A and B are shown apart, each in its own frame.
Chain A
Amino acid sequence: MRTMFQKIWERHEVVAETADTPAVLYVDLHLIHEVTSPQAFAELAARGLPVRRTDRTLGTLDHSTPTRTEQVFGGAPIAIESAARQVRALEANSAAFGVELLGLRSAQRGIVHVIGPELGLTQPGTTIVCGDSHTSTHGAFGALAFGIGTTEVGHVLATQCLLQRRPRTLGIEVSGRLAAGVTAKDLILAIIGRIGVAGGTGHVIEYHGETIRALDMDERMTVCNMSIEAGARAGMIAPDETTYAYLRRRARAPQGADWERSLEAWRELPTDPGARFDREVAFDASPVEPMITYGTNPGMAIPISGRVPARGDDPVLARALAYMGLEGGEPLRDRPVNVVFLGSCTNSRLSDLRGAARVLRGRKLARGVRMLVVPGSQQVKAAAEAEGLHRIFLEAGAEWRESGCSMCIGMNGDTVARGEYSVSTSNRNFEWRQGAGSRTLLASPLTAAACAVRGRITDPRELL
């Protein structure tokens, strides 16, 4: 009896771990981007090493890349000069080492964790790494996927392997139906609120149970994406018919006879009945309400109708509330909002845009509110435009951008101003994350859209 994690791990051990040495773990897919790869390529160049498996390596541009159309497609230079240099560095490194790059003007470019699944590269049973902590997203397909540092990016480029100690496993069983207006984002915020931002440290999480089975792939990705915000390097969900239906006929998924063979192998992956996780948590999803964060880490989340916890003598909470300009015990509801950001690897897929559009259709942004809508990839952008979603956003008064990490990370020109409150569908509400002195409240696309319409913290169920 083995867990899905065990099955995948054991299948990728080139050399098993011993008491003295970590395992040599094989990497099936290595995704790279402009921010965490230049120093790794420099290391290879210094040692005279090639990229060992260019066929298992794919690059894209997302983090420091601008989202303004003219800076992407021409008419204006990339405004941040160091970002422009970084873009050119990945272009040059990809050419020199023979790595495929979905470049600035590629119709397949996008946030690295959006394009892997979208292209059908993210497949059950595989190991996937990237120099980015939200690589956990790909675990939604029953892959073992985790973020690595730049030195390790170099290891994978040079050897297609990593030295790894086997992590422990944490099973989170989710039962109960999500209420109307409550999304996968609310669910994962509630789970992090429960187990804490270090609750998954040293572990790989497997989310399972009836609630998880009922989620579509976009929703599963949102859940796995935020595993790292609970401290877990990876989050996984067993593949099933939902997974296969999503992957079938994707450009780079197995085709024809290969598809049938792959399907047979994928059906063997789920955790065997009776297999045990090192730790287990049971979570009831039925009482979960739309969630919103009030503090400076993603565990500081409350139901949108709730009150900010009293300060007490917790210095972390006191510091967080001072930064956020909030008082302990006050309700968040109806507090004014300055900026709304719809995007990021957590919530920038087509269904996220559809959800927000449902709220915004025929409505306008409240006076003084700025809203940025940044699709996760150029393919998501094209699909959204094909069904007219962009018109709903533009008519409401929002900005419609090219794909990228945008305001999630504040290193590409899209930022929130000092002291402003930003309701954001991204994953981190850390101090300064969205810009100097920015104050981030994490929420679902539905909540974000509702806040944009009212200009105040709003329960989306009032507008659905």
Chain B
Amino acid sequence: MEPVKTLRSRTVVLAASHIDTDQIIPARFLTTTTRAGLGRQLFTDWRYGPDGAPRPDFALNRPEAAGCAILVAGRNFGCGSSREHAPWALVDYGFRAVVSTEIADIFRSNALKNGLLPVVVDEATGRWLIEHPGVEVTVDVETTTLTLPSGARARFPLEPFARYCLLNGVDELGFLLVQLPRIEAYERRKTAVS
């Protein structure tokens, strides 16, 4: 995984609350056996009409959304299915962070494993960002802050280990493999007891 330290980008806003992972990447695209290329189907049913033509009123289809790496969304983003295809699709499309006042547990865990920053902000910051699409903000992993154009900063929670992994491009599997002797010792203890 590439290290992630800071991220500066304009935002694109999807104001709806409870955007579930079925909307992010519909199940009919999960019959893939790779991680690649899912950005094409990101938000498919919101991005395209029944005839397959892009819906001009959908935020991601507006010209000003091009190149935006930060998605601002209503509360409880990523709820529902545990499909990691959701962060894969967001990252493949070009997003590097999702900002919301609340992010669902499994999505959050999956996002972190793919270098997609889950940025949970306070209500006031969240509301302001939703009301001001397209502003340029900075997300800093080192200081765990999001900086608004005014210079105002909002702190966001980031578990120290997740922060360490992001800053150093460390993947968790490597960390777990180092624990193998302790895992083996645990298994021996467990067998002895039962």
Contact = CB atoms under 8 A, between A and B. Distances in A.
Contacts of A131: 82, 84
Interface of B: 15-18, 20, 22-23, 26-28, 30-35, 45, 50, 74-76, 79-84, 87, 102, 104-106, 109-110, 113-114, 159-161, 164, 172-173, 175-177, 179-180, 182-183, 186-187, 190, 194
Given A159-B176, A159-B180, A201-B104, 12 more contacts: A24-B176, A133-B80, A133-B81, A149-B110, A155-B172, A159-B183, A201-B102, A315-B15, A316-B18, A428-B20, A431-B23, A436-B50
Nearest to B81: A133
A82 to B, nearest CB: 4
Given A26-B186, A437-B50, A411 B31 contact: yes
A315 B33 contact: no
A8 to B, nearest CB: 13
Given A151-B114, A197-B18, A430 B23 contact: yes
Interface string A279-307: 00000000000000000010000000000
Contacts of A437: 50
Contacts of B186: 14, 26
Contacts of A418: 50
A63 to B, nearest CB: 8
Contacts of B76: 197-198, 201, 231
Given A22-B159, A133-B82, A155-B173, A430 B106 contact: no
A446 B32 CA distance: 36
A154 B171 CA distance: 12
A444 interface: no
A431 B22 CA distance: 8
A199 B109 CA distance: 18
A198 B183 contact: no
Contact of B105 (A152, A233, A409, A411): A233
B176 A132 contact: no
Contacts of B190: 26
Contacts of A163: 161, 172, 175-176
25 contacts: A21-B161, A26-B187, A35-B31, A38-B34, A39-B34, A42-B33, A63-B27, A148-B109, A150-B84, A150-B110, A151-B113, A159-B173, A159-B176, A159-B179, A161-B179, A161-B183, A163-B175, A233-B105, A265-B194, A411-B28, A428-B80, A428-B81, A431-B23, A436-B50, A437-B50
Nearest to A83: B31
Contacts of A431: 22-23, 45
Contact of B26 (A20, A159, A165, A432): A432
A350 interface: no
Contacts of B15: 315
Given A15-B182, A158-B177, A198-B75, A85 B104 contact: no
Contacts of B50: 418, 436-437
B30 A35 contact: yes
A432 B22 contact: yes
Contacts of A197: 18, 76, 79
Contacts of A150: 84, 110
A86 B31 contact: yes
Interface of A: 14-15, 19-22, 24, 26, 35-36, 38-39, 42-43, 47, 49, 63-64, 80, 82-83, 85-86, 89, 131-133, 147-152, 154-155, 158-161, 163, 165, 167, 197-198, 201-202, 228-229, 231, 233, 261, 265, 297, 315-316, 319, 409-411, 418, 428, 430-433, 436-437
B161 to A, nearest CB: 5
A411 B25 CA distance: 12
Given A89-B33, A147-B82, A430 B22 contact: yes
Contacts of A159: 173, 176-177, 179-180, 183
Contacts of A63: 27, 30
Contacts of A297: 18, 20, 79
Nearest to A148: B82
A152 B22 CA distance: 20
B110 A428 contact: no
A38 B164 CA distance: 28
A305 B93 CA distance: 44
A49 to B, nearest CB: 8
A161 B81 CA distance: 22
A38 B35 CA distance: 9
A89 B84 CA distance: 18
A432 B183 contact: no
A36 B84 contact: yes
A38 B160 CA distance: 30
